[in-house]
Amino acid sequence: MLKVRTRIAPSPTGDPHVGTAYIALFNRCFAHQHAGEFILRIEDTDQVRSTAKSEADILAALRWLGLTWSEGPDVGGPCGPYRQSERSDLYSREIRTLLNSGHAFRCFCTSERLSSLRAQQIQDKAAVGYDGHCLSMTSEQVAACVAAGTEHVIRMRIPEEGDCVFLDMLRGEIRIAWQQIDMQVLIKSDGLPTYHFANVVDDHHMNISHVIRGEEWINSTPKHLLLYQYFGWVPPTYCHMPLLRNPDKSKLSKRKNPTSISYYRDMGYLPRALVNYLGQMGWTMPDGREMFSIEEMTTEFDLSRVSLGGPVFDVDKLTWLNGKYLRERVSDDEFIALFRDWAFAPSKVARIVPLLKDRVDKFSDVEPLAGFFLAGLPAIDSACFTHKSLNTETMRRILQFSIWQFENTKGFSRDEVENACLLLANHMALKIREFLFPLFVAISGKAVSTSVVDSISILGLDLTRARLRHAITVLGDISNKESKLLEKEFQQFSGAGD
């Protein structure tokens, strides 16, 4: 019988997302329930946006949640390497197969031609996509261009008519007309593969039997299946999971909810409660029980019972469940140990103490000065923001620009945070002291505390973002219209500052 092998295939281009953990959990349960393997592959084909830090954070976050894998870039395995950037030879070899069989072709179209084609298609209200221009080149013309070193990409052929029909484990038959499918680029002009190509080649070479992933990939599945057909490979079974939603049913986004797993870790949630909550996304235990471990979920798992009705990730419900775990499942001794590990992580404390030592005479002075390092959102109201020269609107601008600037900052070291603040203060023609005032209040709840730049760097982006956003709400919030204007202004000067 076919061995069940599933995978999570994150792209290391941002924070470790709760959506990744949700998909990982369901993949892991499915594999383990069938005595199979759950593996982790890093999809870093986007070399511009992929970072080593993001990869490390994603691995650490999934491990923290207990969503361990049996093969991956850190643990190795028989199908390695497990990082796509290290598998280029394989992609080069496989693309030659498709070029030789004529299922893929070289495309020399310039970006100017492609943009004017697109503009024309939009104007004509026609389907937007590649028009097959280079398919009419003779093999001599192609060979001459290649010999001359002309820049080009490699695309896949797509049938001109008919439908792609496939079975989804949750949705049954899905039918998508080939006319809706673009002649996807498989190899970019730098010789590296696109997601679609690398993903299929790797799923095949890693013997993935079931692809369980988010529903945003449904429209890509025809291309993937066609590649399997071109290669003559047996495709995996597909299952597209419903996307997580905000309580207002919109797609889960960090604008409305914290989406980074690190945020929940830093706020002091228990990993077992977060995993348990993710297990309730579109799924219930057969006996309706609310508290369950990964192992219990694995035993009872039945993928076909996942409901498609847009699971809502509701922070209040997660918080309630977390509290229930603390009250009912954590002994006093365990509480002490867990709390100590969370509050006094050596790497964090080692950075806080130097900020405090000069300013305290006794230990009881510590909490008033630095208690905010252990807090969630500080208890603040608009009166806390009273200032002699800054008005509310300016403070909201400072806070919003800071969120965006910090999100754009590559690292989060003290100097990087400071530079971000200096840049913004300069743009807003404010003295740095004035600029930092609303940040002090938002971060520490007080106008005076330990250095705010250091504090932000120690708290990290997730807690900082949450506190700055909370402060904006306290200051009357930013309307959608105002936010759009601010975003435009921010883009202008942040782009110019590069």
Tell me the catalytic residues.
254
Nearest-Å Rg of the Cα atoms of the chain is 26
Segment contacting ligand GLU (CB under 6 A): 4-12, 156-164, 184-192, 235-243? 4-12
Cβ at position 363, least distance to ligand GLU in Å? 47
Task: With CA atoms as reference, report the closest residue to 399 among 420, 415, 369.
Answer: 420
Compute the distance between CA of residue 320 and CA of residue 92 in angstroms, rounded to an integer: 51
Cβ at position 242, least distance to ligand GLU in Å? 15
Compute the distance between CA of residue 363 and CA of residue 341 in angstroms, rounded to an integer: 20
Cβ at position 45, least distance to ligand GLU in Å? 8
What is the contact mask toward ligand GLU in residues 462 to 491, using x (rule: CB under 6 A)? ------------------------------
For residue 43, state whether it binds ligand GLU (rule: CB under 6 A). Answer: yes
Nearer to ligand GLU, 41 or 396 (CB): 41
Cβ at position 159, least distance to ligand GLU in Å? 22
Compute the distance between CA of residue 359 and CA of residue 370 in angstroms, rounded to an integer: 11
Cβ at position 207, least distance to ligand GLU in Å? 15
Cβ at position 220, least distance to ligand GLU in Å? 8
- Give the H or E element holding residue 154: strand 153-156
For residue 217, state whether it binds ligand GLU (rule: CB under 6 A). Answer: yes
For residue 199, state whether it binds ligand GLU (rule: CB under 6 A). Answer: yes
Q: State phi, psi for 153 to the nearest 5 degrees.
A: -120, 170
- Give the H or E element holding residue 210: strand 210-214
Nearer to ligand GLU, 84 or 322 (CB): 84
Compute the distance between CA of residue 450 and CA of residue 456 in angstroms, rounded to an integer: 10
Burial of 325 (0-12, 13-18, 19+ CB in 10 A): middle
Nearer to ligand GLU, 281 or 471 (CB): 281
Tokens of 52: 């080593």
Residue with tokens 């469940």: 321
Nearer to ligand GLU, 9 or 59 (CB): 9
Segment contacting ligand GLU (CB under 6 A): 5-13, 126-134, 262-270, 391-399? 5-13
Q: How many residues at the interface with ligand GLU, by CB under 6 A?
A: 8
For residue 11, state whether it binds ligand GLU (rule: CB under 6 A). Answer: yes
Segment contacting ligand GLU (CB under 6 A): 7-15, 128-136, 174-182, 363-371? 7-15
For residue 67, state whether it binds ligand GLU (rule: CB under 6 A). Answer: no
| 178-197 residues near ligand GLU, rule: CB under 6 A | 195
Tokens of 344: 């006094």
Cβ at position 211, least distance to ligand GLU in Å? 6
**Residue 105 CB coordination number (10 Å):** 20
For residue 228, state whether it binds ligand GLU (rule: CB under 6 A). Answer: no
Evaluate whether 270 touches 466 at the Cβ level (below 8 Å). Answer: no
Segment contacting ligand GLU (CB under 6 A): 3-11, 182-190, 294-302, 415-423? 3-11
**Helix, strand, coil proportions of the chain in percent (round to 5)?**
55, 10, 35
Tokens of 192: 């590296």
Nearer to ligand GLU, 163 or 215 (CB): 215
Tokens of 126: 């026609």
One of 10, 236, 438, 445 touching ligand GLU (CB under 6 A): 10
For residue 434, state whether it binds ligand GLU (rule: CB under 6 A). Answer: no
> What amino acid occupies position 263?
Y
What is the longest distance spanned by two Cα atoms in the chain? 83
**Residue 231 in 3-state DSSP?**
helix
Task: With CA atoms as reference, report the closest residue to 429 among 454, 458, 394, 462.
Answer: 394
Nearer to ligand GLU, 39 or 395 (CB): 39
Binding site for ligand GLU (CB under 6 A): 9-11, 43, 195, 199, 213, 217
